[in-house]
Structure 1
Amino acid sequence: MVSVSNPETSSLVSTYRSLVPVRARRRIVRRIPVPLRNLVMHLLAAFDSARSAVVVRALGGRRNPARHSVNASLRVVRIEGKHVRAAVVKGATEWAARARNFHMVVAVLEDAEIEYFAVRGTGKDVPCVAVSSRYRGDVEEVLQIAFGLNPGYVRDASGGQLRTGASSKTWSRLRSSQVVRLTWNVCDPTGQLVFGPASGCDLEFWAESNGELAAPRPNAVVTRLQVGTELRVAEQKLFSLVPSQYHTGYARTVSDFTARLPGDHAYPIDVVYTWVDDADPVWRAGKDAVRRSLTPDTTEQLHDQADNDARYTSRDELRYSLRSIHQYAPWVRNIYLVTAGQTPGWLNSAHPGLRVVDHREIFSDPSALPTFNSHAIESQLHHINGLSERFLYLNDDVFFGRPVHPEHFFHPNGLTKFFTSKALIPSGQVTPDDLPVDAAGKNSRGLIAQQFGTVIAQKMKHTPHALSREVLAEIEQTYERAHWVTQHSRFRSPHDIPIASSLHHYYAYHKARATLGNLRYVYVDIGDALAQRRLDRLVAKRDFDTFCINDTVVPDDPGAQERMVKRFLNAYFPVPSPFELPGAEGTPTRRTTELGAAVE
């Protein structure tokens, strides 16, 4: 391989390398006792701060090199039934743990001047680094030293027992493994989040023969390379995804692995929330005033759940839903919070990836405001200025439960995915006794049947909804009358259509612009007698892509229910996101918008 220099290598290390040939340096390493080698590595690390600094931001955002040093706090945790050590990192996230492991493997190989290249397309969620099998002895030796300095673990990439990387016996046992998983474990200070081999970095040994390197397993790009293929430098985030505002350094690779692939999601994806806090006295007064202004005929048409207090109750779920994005969906570009002039007191509204949007900014007819109908608000989301063409719409009681990827919700070519529920839309026409959600489903069914001749029966799961602005704008034109009626219904009405949560998906499907998706999901009714048991299972297993916790009925003991939900959310999402003001709790504040004075 023809190597290139990494811009983050320290001047001290570069000088040493320029004066001492590679083979001589390796002989020196083998002859120096391990304790002395460790001491030298400590001294070099003290001067090589540039390299370690790039990963600091990805592990919590604060520049505190101590948390990444060999003296960082270690804790014994349990991973796959085995007690192992993990570095305690404030602000730990899964994506940062993964980026950290990749970064450390790259740093070790570069410091030892062992030729490597980063690999894409293995079909795994973990990053991957490849070296020639000719260098296996050198690789094992330098990694054994590195694991002695910073405790970590190794196993066969396909599974098997987790073993300490500092032991020569470990590497002897793994000698037949052509792909190994390297892991420096990480946990957050609460111990609730532990990131082990699933967030590690794979190391492939490519067989070298007759001037050619052959991969030990398939990948989607290239599995054979000529020895001497020119290397280039690429950002590490190409191989281990981190949020756009973070930089984790560079890695060497070949040009084949830097090209855009058909399976890459090259377009931005934003998230939109609709949010309300019923504890806001200004908001409540406005809602009560509108309710009193309704005519008797209109009031009689409203179902009890059209203005149920449970529909508006905020248990601070938004804070934790945002944490779930920060923890498990680092690919999200921007977040838009659509409100009626409210802002949570804890929200860091100055964060560059977050924008609070007032209803008055998006409603095509301002006379429809104020509104207390989520169907009406959802009908206007595609009017958000600057919103990406493809975006996810979430209620604040929907959460990401483990690492997810854009392909969970969108095809690489831009087609959206939707997730049908086993729950069915009741048959027949709309009646006054219909729940608002059932009435809306029936209305949607009528529109689809009229235009496409098919009868829809299934409701949608309470998941993030993958939406297209173009499709939403087309729906606004195609079903102009129904869309206008929905926008102007101040409370949920028997005439509503569920545009964002259902109609979009069925319409796009019939237009060949959406497909049925597959998502591991669960809905927890927190009013159910078994709610606590189900929440406890969620925390213990963490095996759902997304989940929703909700209650449509006001509980007999709201305080007990709120405490149950709070305990669960703090246990599942203990790491604050950058969308929170440090230490802030607070009540919602009224916003002064560019459209006028404070919203009343």
Structure 2
Amino acid sequence: MVAAATPADRWRHNLDLVTAAFDEAGVPHFAVPTLDERRSAVAVREQDRDGALRALATVGAQDGVTVRLPDRARPGRSVGVAEVFAAVTDPFGRTVLGQAFACDVEFWPDAPTEEYPVPHIAAPRPNRIAAALPTVGATVAVPGRRLSRFAGEDTTYPSRAEFAGLAHDQVTFPIDVVYTWVDGDDGDWRERKNRALREHGAAEMNEVAANDARYVSRDELRYSMRSLVAYAPWVRQIYLVTDDQVPAWLDVTHPMVRVVRHREIFADTGRLPTFNSHAIESRLHRIPGLSEHFVYVNDDMFFGRPLVPTAFFHANGIAKFFTSPAQLDVGPATVHDAPVTAAGKNNRRHIEERFGRTISQKMRHVPYPLRRSVLEEIERHLPAEVLATAEHQFRHPGDLSIPSSLQHYWSYLSGTSVPGSIRYTYADLAHPSTPVKLAALLSRRHCDVFCLNDTDSSEVLLSEQQAMLADFLSAYLPFRAPFEVSPEVEAQRLGRTASALAAELLPESPTSAAPRQGTGRAPHDPAGQPEPVR
């Protein structure tokens, strides 16, 4: 067992095991871009097989390293390919990172002379670039990301010049990730929420617009961010948007993560404090330093297995979106609609007015690939509607759901996004089938992403769900992320609220115009009358 590990670590570690052994033994070799980008590959000419096998024998003698040699008699194994990997187990001794991330050693024979005008060597199996290469060719240093789009760092490896080019499907632009998070168990935060509820009243609110289940924190954020580190190592920066809260386990000084206060992105717009996810989402494009391409993730969403950037964006910058088979109800938004339904209906009206198209499908509850410029464009074209959403302290029938729905249709009809597909599953934590579903997910690890969601559960159910989630998530994602503090530091912090930790740990943000505070009046209505539903 190791203290922490990720698939990208294993990719690099297993490749380093092989290249270091070949370098020491003087075996000529070059790295190969594989079809399965979880695995690395190193090519050796067939004439150098004996020297390579002797070098691999020294690797296999190391503790915890497995070397499997080519065996023509074994079904399912590629002829002329060996594999090397050092498996990683979790604290309970279960292998969680093993053969799937091996380094393959390919033995390239001479190609038939009648097929090529000059001598060539032939690949023993398909790769992403070429079936054969000239026998004599230049060896150059190639960044790891040219060999696998999954590789998280640009460590260089010796490879052939033919493999050094930038492929047409290689994403070169930065991709950030934005999380929104709240700790509903924070007494300071609950006091702010209850005060706002008393001032606001319930006349314009659906009965589930402010239910406690929406704000419960079951430590999902920790594990969602672990999954991001494990399975999307190409992410540049993580932004965590909060209402002046910090989870006890987070190292706020780590360069990979930046905590963004609501007041930084609301500035002179909107109304704080806010307890409306639609309002918070309407301000995400105002995060300082945010990249043009980013993925918006809720803390109940998890990355389930290694993914490459093109799962979310094409290499030409076009974003993807993931529609659901679930359909949007007909008719205009009313206070009787669930908040997400009302927002979807408002989105539909604006898409009809802007593009002359009618939308009928909802979006899957999966990570949302977004373009910052499209969000800015929506705000320019719908300034009053976006501002009204930002000013609603609780979810309101006049809201827009911008990054989770409107942006995708707007972007598609503007030519900057296209439909995509992603393998995912959704588990309602209150459903009796969920324990079986989680067991299958843990065993198979077959989904790109998954969502563990609860909309309205009693305190008894919440306690049961907490135990179920703790068992599942700690088994699925057992290794601490680099931005988690030590268990000792975390234990010292547990007696303080998330708000108190933010006050202690976060530096003061740059001064800016303060957003308007709640006054008990509806937005845009100095007389305090309810805003009409649009």
TM-score w.r.t. the length of structure 2 is 0.87
Q: SS in structure 1 opposite 2:61? A: helix
Identify the residue that residue 530 of structure 2 maps to in structure 1: none
Output one character per residue of 1:406-453: Cα deviation in whole Å (capped at 9) or x when no partner. Answer: 111111111111111122111122222110011011111111122222
Q: Determine if contact 1:233/1:252 at 8 Å carries over to the other structure.
A: yes
Whole-angstrom CA distance in 2 between matches of 1:286 and 1:572: 35
**Superposition pairs for residues 428-439 of structure 1, below 5 Å?**
428-439=331-342
Q: 1:354 to 1:235 in 2, by over 3 A?
A: same
Q: Determine if contact 1:422/1:458 at 8 Å carries over to the other structure.
A: yes
Identify the residue that residue 346 of structure 1 maps to in structure 2: 249
Q: SS in structure 1 opposite 2:203? A: helix
Q: Determine if contact 1:360/1:366 at 8 Å carries over to the other structure.
A: no
1:127 to partner: Cα distance: 1.3
Q: 1:286 to 1:457 in 2, by over 3 A?
A: same
Identify the residue that residue 32 of structure 2 maps to in structure 1: 119
Q: SS in structure 2 opposite 1:537? A: helix
Whole-angstrom CA distance in 2 between matches of 1:537 and 1:132: 42
Bigger shift: 151-160 or 549-558? 151-160
1:574 to partner: Cα distance: 1.0
Identify the residue that residue 179 of structure 2 maps to in structure 1: 273
Unmatched 5+ stretches in structure 1: 1-87, 163-173
1:366 to partner: Cα distance: 4.1
Identify the residue that residue 96 of structure 2 maps to in structure 1: 194
Identify the residue that residue 99 of structure 1 maps to in structure 2: 12
Q: Determine if contact 2:206/2:338 at 8 Å carries over to the other structure.
A: yes
**Superposition pairs for residues 205-220 of structure 1, below 5 Å?**
205-208=107-110, 211-220=119-128
**Superposition pairs for residues 249-328 of structure 1, below 5 Å?**
250-294=156-200, 299-328=202-231
Question: Is 1:153 equivalent to 2:67 in the alignment?
Answer: yes
Question: Is 1:373 equivalent to 2:267 in the alignment?
Answer: no
Aligned pairs, number: 495
Bigger shift: 533-542 or 138-147? 138-147
- Counterpart AA for 2:217: S
Identify the residue that residue 413 of structure 1 maps to in structure 2: 316
Select 2:384's aligned residue among 476, 481, 494. 481
Question: Is 1:575 equivalent to 2:483 in the alignment?
Answer: no
Q: Which has more radius of gyration?
A: 1
Whole-angstrom CA distance in 1 between matches of 2:70 and 2:278: 51
Q: Determine if contact 1:448/1:455 at 8 Å carries over to the other structure.
A: yes
Identify the residue that residue 89 of structure 1 maps to in structure 2: 2
Whole-angstrom CA distance in 2 between matches of 1:190 and 1:556: 31
Select 1:137's aligned residue among 31, 34, 50. 50
Whole-angstrom CA distance in 2 between matches of 1:449 and 1:237: 42
Larger RCO (CA under 8 A, 6+ residues apart): 2
Output one character per residue of 1:535-576: Cα deviation in whole Å (capped at 9) or x when no partner. Answer: 222212211111111111032502222112112111111111
Output one character per residue of 1:81-106: Cα deviation in whole Å (capped at 9) or x when no partner. Answer: xxxxxxx2221222212211111111
Identify the residue that residue 560 of structure 1 maps to in structure 2: 464
Identify the residue that residue 593 of structure 1 maps to in structure 2: 508
Q: 1:97 to 1:161 in 2, by over 3 A?
A: farther
Bigger shift: 115-124 or 196-205? 115-124
Output one character per residue of 1:173-197: Cα deviation in whole Å (capped at 9) or x when no partner. Answer: x8x8133333332223333452222
Q: SS in structure 1 opposite 2:358? A: coil
- Counterpart AA for 2:347: S
Q: 1:464 to 1:192 in 2, by over 3 A?
A: farther
1:242 to partner: Cα distance: 4.4
Q: SS in structure 1 opposite 2:209? A: helix
- Considering only aligned residues, what root-mean-square deviation do their CA atoms show, in Å? 2.5
Identify the residue that residue 79 of structure 2 maps to in structure 1: 177
Q: 1:237 to 1:375 in 2, by over 3 A?
A: same
Which stretches of structure 1, 4 residues or longer, exceed 4 Å deviation after superposition?
A: 155-162, 235-238, 595-600
**Superposition pairs for residues 201-240 of structure 1, below 5 Å?**
201-208=103-110, 211-236=119-144, 238-239=146-147
- Counterpart AA for 1:130: A
Q: Identity of counterpart residues, as a percentage?
A: 40
Q: Determine if contact 2:363/2:405 at 8 Å carries over to the other structure.
A: yes
Identify the residue that residue 328 of structure 2 maps to in structure 1: 425
Whole-angstrom CA distance in 1 between matches of 2:73 and 2:334: 57
Q: Determine if contact 1:92/1:187 at 8 Å carries over to the other structure.
A: no
Q: 1:385 to 1:395 in 2, by over 3 A?
A: same
Q: 1:392 to 1:178 in 2, by over 3 A?
A: same
Unmatched 5+ stretches in structure 2: 114-118, 518-534
Whole-angstrom CA distance in 2 between matches of 1:485 and 1:367: 8
Whole-angstrom CA distance in 2 between matches of 1:438 and 1:196: 44
Bigger shift: 102-111 or 143-152? 143-152
Whole-angstrom CA distance in 2 between matches of 1:102 and 1:258: 17
Identify the residue that residue 168 of structure 1 maps to in structure 2: none
Output one character per residue of 1:489-542: Cα deviation in whole Å (capped at 9) or x when no partner. Answer: 110000011100001111111112111111111111011122222222221221
Whole-angstrom CA distance in 1 between matches of 2:364 and 2:106: 40
Q: 1:197 to 1:157 in 2, by over 3 A?
A: farther
Identify the residue that residue 520 of structure 1 maps to in structure 2: 423
- Counterpart AA for 1:380: R
Q: 1:184 to 1:344 in 2, by over 3 A?
A: closer
